[in-house]
Each structure stands twice: as C-alpha cells, then as structure tokens.
Structure 1
Amino acid sequence: MSAGEGLEQIADGVWAFLRPPGSWGQTNTGLIVDRGAASMVVDTVWDTGWAKRVASATTLLVTDAPITEVLNTHSDGDHWWGNDTVPAEARITTSVASFEAMKEELPPAAVTAFARLGRLAGPVLGPIGDVGTYMNTVRGGARFPRKLPRLPDHTFEVTERIDVGARQVQLRYLGPAHTAGDLIAHVPDAGVVFAGDLLFIGSTPILWHGPLTNWMDALDHLIALDAAVYVPGHGPICGLDEVRKLRAYWAWVDAAGRQHFDAGVESVHAARNMMASPEFVPFAKWCSPERLVLSMSTLYRLWDGKPAAPPTLVRRVAAFAAAGAMLRRGK
C-alpha cells in the first residue's frame, strides 16, 4: 500500500478507506459505527479485488455492529459497483436522481469490453488511439464485476435522516453537479462529512452533468457545515481550506473558460491555454490535470444553450479522445 492508503479512523466510530492519490477509480469509502448496535457503509468500489479488501479490513469493526445501511453517493460505477460485497440484508440508499442515473449507466460488462477495445486501439495513431489510451487510464487495471451489481432499494428526494443505531446521519441531495444525483452524508456527532464526488482533493474534478453553479452552491453548503473532517470521493481527507481551494478552481474555470468561449476558441484549445496560464499554477500538481478538457466539453455545451444532462457515450468518447491526445502529446 502507498502512503496514506487504507483504513484510517477519522473520528469516534468513523473510518475512511482511502485510495490516494485519487485518480480514476481510486475511490474513498467510509464506515460509520455505533458499537454494539449497527453500522453504515458509505460507497463501494468498482474493482472487485479492492471491494473485497475493504470488506476484509472492516470485518472486526462490525463484529458487534452489523452493517444495516449502505449509502451510494452518486451513480458513477466506482462508487457503487461493489454493492454485491455488502450484506444482502443491508438497506442501500441513494438519491432519486442517482437511482435513475444508475439504471441508465453502461453495465460493467460493456465498460470492460470497451476498455479491452481501448487497450488494443492504444498504439493506433489518431483519435481512435487517443480514446484507447485514455480508456486504459480510466480503467487503471481494475477488474469490474461481471454483472450489474445490486441497485439501491431506498431513495429520497432532497433530505433524509438515517439512524445508525443511536447515531444520526443526515443526507442531503446537492445535485445535479458532477452527476445527476450527488448527495452528501453528514455525521453531526462526529463532525464528519462524506462528500462523494462533490469533493476531489489533490485530484482534478470532472463536471460531467452540471450546471457548474450547482456545484459551487454545493461547496458553499459544505463550507457552511463547518465540519472538522471532510471525506472526498477522491483524494485525502481535508478541512475547509481544501474545500475553498476547490471552489476557487471552479470559479477560475468558469471565468477563464467563458472568456475563451465568448472569443470563439474551441474547447480543447481553451483548456490547453488555461493550463498554460499563470492562474493554473495553484492547481497544476493535482493528479489528472488533463481532466480539465472533459469539464470544458461539458461547459461549452451548457454555454451553447443546451440543457444540463448526463454524458452520452458519444460525449464521453469525444472527451476521452481529447484528453488522450493531450496525454500522448505531453501537453
């Protein structure tokens, strides 16, 4: 394991299983325990080997507090494709919007096939090879489940309170932003917030759905909670300073990107120009910086007057081709 990787206690009865540096598929998960009573799992991972590793690492912690609740923070497969590794009797919760998006996502078998084609296409010159190269980056060697995992069986619209033994977990839907169904879980008695992919820390975030204003509003909400510890979907645990820095990133992307859009600069060139600017320096060391290209493709679509919506396969392929081209050319 790398430094900072694995199970870490972050408050009384609260743990995070961390996967630094937080790039593609390197998803953080959580565990909330009321000793002698019950436990909640926050998110599951798409790599079957890692899902088993997480379950094994937490076995002793739930010996006298069985897992009765599971939470999926949104519809990306790296946050719920491990649902088959949780106890069958545990209830799985997500937002209504996330649940609907989960039903529309490509199944694991299709993503596996797509990734294999990408590996074969990687050496090819041009857009096909660019997509293949980036698909390999996205998969990152993960082994996906063979079939669609268990879907959530409980949903909520805006807010929900779940009692884990005597502990309260406050859920709030703050999407659409990164995806259609982004939600957070606040554990007030521990001062901990599990933010899902509304927080990427030290890892470049991706705007797949939008609008961006919703994401910035969600960050304002996280800041207002004034928690002691925030667990991002990707990257190390953090405090308010890191949340504010992510908000500063999006504010810069919004302003600088819109200037390029208004000037008629194509989105990929806009992303390259922005990454070469002095304003990018505070964010340049975040992993996967080329993901700015993916977010810019979404923003250009929104600025062109199209409605916020989940990415189609065609949109993802086009964005992956642009990001793959950037990586292969060392830009």
Structure 2
Amino acid sequence: MTIEPLSHDPVVDTGHAQELARDLVVIPNGGVGLVPNIGVIGGTRAVLVVETGLGPRNAEKVLGFAAEYAKGRELFLTTTHFHPEHAFGARTFADEATYLVNSAQAKNLTDKGQSYLEMFRGLGAPIARQLEGVELASPDVVYDEEYELDLGGRVVRMRATGRGHSLGDQVVTVPDADVLFTGDLAEAGQFAIFPWFPPYDVDVSGLRWIAVMRRLIATGPKVVVPGHGEVSGPRLLADVRDYLELLRDETWIRRDSAMPPDTIVAEVEALMIERYPQWAGQDWIAKGVGCLCAEHAEDDSPATSGVGRGGSVSG
C-alpha cells in the first residue's frame, strides 16, 4: 500500500504472468503503485490465488485469469493482509472460490476495512475509480496460526506471522517449489511500508516485524515473492531485516538523547536515503521513525510463532 496520490490507475496486467515453477505463476506488479504481486498456484485438483488487486475490476481480471488457468479445477483465494490492494477485490470471488484467511486478518477486515476504504477513496480519482462498488468480503474459512491446503499433489501452507506490518500478516509457502509469498512484510527496491497513523491505526510494530523477518530468514526459501517489486531470492529477507534493524538503532540513539522529534526524522531520513539511494517510498521512513519512537525494548517480545496448525482442507 502507499499513501501518495497516484496520477495513474492502479490496474493489474495479467498479460505478463511469470512462471516460477511447475504450475505456479506470478502476475507481477510491474512497478505500478498500489498493484501487488499476485500468485496463482496449482495442484491436480485445485488452484489457489494469492491477492485480489485493488477493487472489483482488478479482481475480475485476476479471477478471469485464474479460472482460465485452472481449467475446471476448484478455486481458492487467500490474501496476505487486509489492505485494499491486497484484499478489497475478494467479494468478486465469492461465488467462484473459497476464501481463507487467519483470524487476526479477519478481525482487521471487520474492524478497519471500512475506514481504510474511505481513506483510500480520498487518495485521488484513479484510486477511487478502482474502488467503486467495493463490498468487503467475509472469509469462508478462518484459521488461527497455520493452515495446510491440499491442492492435489501439492500442499500450500498459510501461516499467520503475528504482528508486524499489520496484526493479520500472513505468509504463503509452497514447499515443493521452495517459494515464499510475503505480502508487505517484504518489498523489493523500496523502504518498508509503515502504516503508522496514530491515533487511528498503530498496529504496525517495527520490533515485532524484525522478529518476523528473522524467523522467515531461518526457513531458507529459494524464491521470495514480495508484496511489491521484483521476485527475488532469500537475500531480500535479509535486506529488509537489516534495514529495519538500522532504522531502529538510529532512531533509538536519537530518541534516547532527547533530540526533538523533527530533528530525529530529518537525520534518520537523510541517513537512510544515503544508505539506500535507489529505493522508492522515501515517505515511509518518517512513519517508521514515528512507530519506533513509540516502541521500547521491552516490547520486543516474541511475536506469534505461527508454527501451530489451525486446520487443513483438500481441494
């Protein structure tokens, strides 16, 4: 997600689908703001779609692509978190696919979906056009920590990571292909997205996000599909961890010296831009500084491990 108004419509382009492994493709975001990377993962009996795109028209494109790809196989849908470009097309899938998410994400949708819809509609005409006719969807299946989906000859694991970018973050792993979908826990070529909007939304946690990244790194995926940006290797996870740790350290050094907040932001922004001059999304640095200024070392307790199993289903 992004908070900057767009001059173009955030439209999913299904014409450049990229094959990552047998029966597994990504519809890349192509560097377009507010367009996520979208996964389509197949087994012998069913196909899982990861992310919907922003609003019903994008979701119709994704559903059309997935239905053609499935060739009669059953369809499932999941979303990595509740933010609009990832989940606000889910209602379009209602009669065609089974929608699965973790319980924290389902709560986010209920508690904050409408307010995020209103906020995004105010970010300019291109975004508002894509959000016309949005109806927030209710998941068909809700799990707590981990869910195994048997697509037929291929098991996909959906795992709640605990609080990080949002309360309801979820990663999707395809073990036989060694592919990990991270949602906005990891972005390629841009600064980490901190939806820090006090007092309305302060769910993001820089400290717990670091803990999540450490755990994801330990799983050792070969291919990483970020929420936005190019499909990458495992180094991307380390890059995100390193950035978050540096942001924390530089913020806390200044905060603990009683430096004025505006000075902290200015100095940390300058340092991060110097360190990562090619990264996009510089506006998110200040949001990260604000979040970390409000966090303390004692808050760095282990996030939900996400290793338990909430259930399984066969396609």
Match of 1:148 among 130, 135, 153: 135
Q: Which residue of 2 aligns with 1:62?
A: 70
Gapped runs of 5+ residues in structure 1? 116-134, 309-331
Corresponding position: 1:285 with 2:278: yes
Separation of aligned partners in 2, 1:143 and 1:2: 11
Please give the root-mean-square deviation of Cα atoms over the aligned residues, in Å.
Answer: 2.9
Separation of aligned partners in 2, 1:5 and 1:235: 17
Q: Tell me the percent identity.
A: 20
Gapped runs of 5+ residues in structure 2? 1-10, 196-202, 302-315
Separation of aligned partners in 1, 2:217 and 2:173: 12
Q: Secondary structure at the match of 2:54?
A: coil
Shift of 1:106: 4.3
Q: Deviations over 1:147-199 (max 9, x none)?
A: 43212121111122111123111121112010001111111011111111111
Question: Per residue, is there more helix in 1 or in 2?
Answer: 1
Corresponding position: 1:175 with 2:162: yes
Q: Secondary structure at the match of 1:199?
A: coil
Q: Deviations over 1:63-118 (max 9, x none)?
A: 13231x211211212211011222515221111111111111142762355x1xxx
Q: Which residue of 2 aligns with 1:296?
A: 289
Q: Which residue of 1 aligns with 2:246?
A: 252
Alpha-carbon contact 2:82-2:109 (below 8 Å) kept: yes
Change (3 A) 1:89 1:56: closer
Task: Letter of the 1:102 partner, please give it.
Answer: L
Separation of aligned partners in 2, 1:250 and 1:22: 24
Alpha-carbon contact 2:12-2:35 (below 8 Å) kept: no
Alpha-carbon contact 2:208-2:300 (below 8 Å) kept: no
Change (3 A) 1:229 1:299: same
Task: Letter of the 1:19 partner, please give it.
Answer: N
Change (3 A) 1:226 1:61: same
Residues matched between the structures, number: 283
Task: Letter of the 2:41 partner, please give it.
Answer: I
Match of 2:89 among 47, 68, 82: 82
Match of 1:238 among 228, 232, 243: 232
Task: Letter of the 2:231 partner, please give it.
Answer: I
Q: Secondary structure at the match of 1:200?
A: coil
Report the TM-score when normalising by structure 1: 0.77
Separation of aligned partners in 1, 2:14 and 2:138: 30
Shift of 1:307: 11
